[in-house]
Amino acid sequence: QVQLVESGGGSVQAGGSLRLSCVVSGDTRSIYRLGWFRQAPGKEREWVASIAIWSGNTYYADSVKGRFTASQDNAKSTSYLQMNGLKPEDAGIYYCAAGFRPISRVPSRFTEANFDLWGRGTQVTVSS
């Protein structure tokens, strides 16, 4: 059974950086994609970035494009989200998610429906 555990959250000032990690355990061969989502207080969870496991292709929400970088280290079964130039609006709980079903067409914007398993999240706070 696959499990996802996020870490790396914390508090930074605007303009700072954080690197989130998502350790994936279990039968990772069943995973087609990993995604990062975030949820700010009072708001819905929103997609941030995705990485296709087999191709390594990455996809980003417009709000983070150019500032965030998703990557994977297969040897460590870990996915990373490098966040630079953080803004107060980037604050929230960040979740790692795994998708076990193939998709025939990459959407312009991933949704929760593209993912089947979620971690518990890690808190990111950005002060202005």
* pLDDT tens-digit series, residues 59-110: 999 999 999 999 998 888 899 999 999 999 999 999 999 999 998 888 888 9
Query: Are 45 and 32 spatial neighbours (Cβ–Cβ below 8 Å)?
Result: no
**pLDDT, position 98:** 96
**pLDDT, position 106:** 85
Phi, then psi, of 29 in degrees rounded to 5: -65, -20
**pLDDT, position 37:** 98
**pLDDT, position 28:** 86
More confident of the two residues 36 and 108: 36
**pLDDT, position 104:** 85
Sign of CA dihedral 107, 108, 114, 117: positive
